[in-house]
């Protein structure tokens, strides 16, 4: 009688390396978030009340692609923006 061996594949997950693009109906990237989240404890009782996303970039555009300066916040360099340019 042979005893089957169980192989265990351990996986490691590193947070902060993935970027998710949230686009509008025209395909313009408006927000880029990472796969991290921040735990918020408003009443300091040691229990997480809610989570906030890790926002890497926000942009908004005038017609024909000019950025609205008051609605733009770029935390890191980001390659794509208006119409994928």
Assess if residue 13 is contained within a domain: no
Does 47 reside within a domain? no
23 falls in which pLDDT band (50, 70, 90)? confident
In a domain, 65, yes or no: yes
In a domain, 4, yes or no: no
Q: CA–CA separation, 56 vs 52, rounded Å?
A: 12
Which domain covers residue 79, as residue numbers?
A: 18-32+56-85
> What is the number of structural domains in the chain?
1
> 29-40 and 50-58: which strand pairing?
antiparallel
Q: Is residue 74 situated within a structural domain? A: yes
Per-residue pLDDT band for 52 (boundaries 50, 70, 90) equals: very high
| Cα 75 to Cα 19: distance, rounded to the nearest angstrom | 13
In a domain, 6, yes or no: no
> Global pTM?
0.64
What is the structure's pLDDT at 78?
61
């Amino acid at each position: 009688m042979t005893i089957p061996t169980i192989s265990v594949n351990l996986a490691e997950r590193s947070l902060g390396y993935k970027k998710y693009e949230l686009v509008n109906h025209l395909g313009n990237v408006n927000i880029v978030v990472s796969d991290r989240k921040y735990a918020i404890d408003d009443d300091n009782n040691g229990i997480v009340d809610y989570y906030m996303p890790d926002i890497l970039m926000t942009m908004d555009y005038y017609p024909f692609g000019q950025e609205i300066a008051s609605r733009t916040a770029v935390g890191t360099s980001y390659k794509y923006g208006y119409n994928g340019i």
